[in-house]
Amino acid sequence: MTSADGTPAVTAVIGVGVMGEALVSGLVRAGRPPATMLLGEKRPERAAELRERYGIAVVDNVEAAAGAQTVVLVVKPQDMSEVLEEVAGSIRPGQLVVSLAAGITTAFLESRLPDGVAVVRVMPNTPALVDQGMLTISPGRHCEEEHLAEVEALLASTGKVLRLPEKHQDAATAISGSGPGYVFFVVESMIEAGVHLGLPRGTATELVVQTLVGSAAMLAETGDHPVVLREQVTSPAGTTAAALRELEIHGVRAAFLAALRAAHDRSRSLAEGS
């Protein structure tokens, strides 16, 4: 995206915590010039750290919003109303506002910004920290193809980007947004099981992590349904079959369905409570 005079457009990132910095570092690694970015950060110590690390100008939120064509809000859902109130007077039609806050709808954003401002809702996840994120994006009422393309270009440095109707964003939040937490929980449980079976913790960790990496690679590279891959490793009356029987007896599948429904419903309630 370029500005009206043909110069590179400026992108402001407001909220440079873990996810915000993941985006900034990804953009820098992808070759985005620091001069085309602004960071909004209030804490002096953190601002100095970011300037030193990335060579990007760090200003207050209002100045960041006023000086950019694309404004990326990477704040907690409960803080979104306050941040929008702070920067709304500096936002103008023609700018693009991108939100990475769980549960915050495009309608919520549009109702607190000047009429006609294009907004895009994004649901990221933490593997973006290692450039392996899964990010879903949904357009607001005033969003055009060029806005979606700009957001895709911004986020591509941190992982895979998928366009999604906004009605599915709460489900995406439950699956991919919160998903790493479930995976880490399963990994933690498998490591503990290994320790209980007599393995040193370091050995159990290495076995579990590499098994996870390899299994994920098989899913991604073969394109086979997980049922097919599971059946390939499940011999009749074998060790895997014995383990899976215990998981079914303990209702693990039903527990996952209930857990993801809870995450979905919580995502939906976040905007209502903002």
Q: Is residue 14 exposed (0-12), middle (13-18) or buried (19+ Cβ within 10 Å)? A: buried
Order of all β-strands in the sheet with 118-123: 57-59, 37-40, 11-14, 70-73, 96-99, 118-123, 133-139, 159-163
Work out the percent of the chain whose per-residue pLDDT is above 70.
Answer: 96
Confidence tier at 156 by pLDDT (50, 70, 90): very high
Pick the CATH number of 179-273 from 1.20.1250.20, 1.10.3730.10, 3.30.2130.10, 3.50.30.20: 1.10.3730.10
Q: Are 219 and 134 in contact (CB under 8 A)?
A: no
Mean pLDDT of the chain: 93
Query: What are the domain boundaries of the chain?
Result: 11-169, 179-273
DSSP E strands in 46-201: the ranges are 57-59, 70-73, 96-99, 118-123, 133-139, 159-163
- Taking only the tens place, the pLDDT of each residue in 161-179 is 999 999 999 999 999 999 9
Q: Are 129 and 22 in contact (CB under 8 A)?
A: yes
What is the model's pLDDT at position 247? 96
What is the model's pLDDT at position 207? 98
Cα separation of 125 and 136, whole Å?
Answer: 9
- Taking only the tens place, the pLDDT of each residue in 6-26 is 456 899 999 998 899 999 999
What is the model's pLDDT at position 273? 63
CATH number for region 11-169: 3.40.50.720
> For residues 190 and 269, which has the higher predicted lDDT (pLDDT)?
190
Which residues sit opposite 120 in a β-bridge? 98, 139
The widest CA-to-CA distance across the chain, in whole angstroms, is 70
pLDDT at 99 over 60: yes
Q: Are 98 and 70 in contact (CB under 8 A)?
A: yes
Angle between the N-to-C axes of helices 226-233 and 201-222, in degrees from 0 to 180, rounded to the nearest 10: 130
Tell me phi and psi for residue 166, to 5 degrees.
-60, -25
pLDDT at 264 over 60: yes
- Taking only the tens place, the pLDDT of each residue in 41-91 is 888 899 999 999 999 999 999 999 999 999 999 999 999 999 999 999 999
Work out the percent of the chain whose per-residue pLDDT is above 90.
Answer: 88
What is the model's pLDDT at position 274? 57
pLDDT at 148 over 60: yes
Cα separation of 9 and 225, whole Å?
Answer: 42
The candidate with the shortest Cα–Cα distance to 245, out of 256, 234, 255, is 234
pLDDT at 4 over 90: no
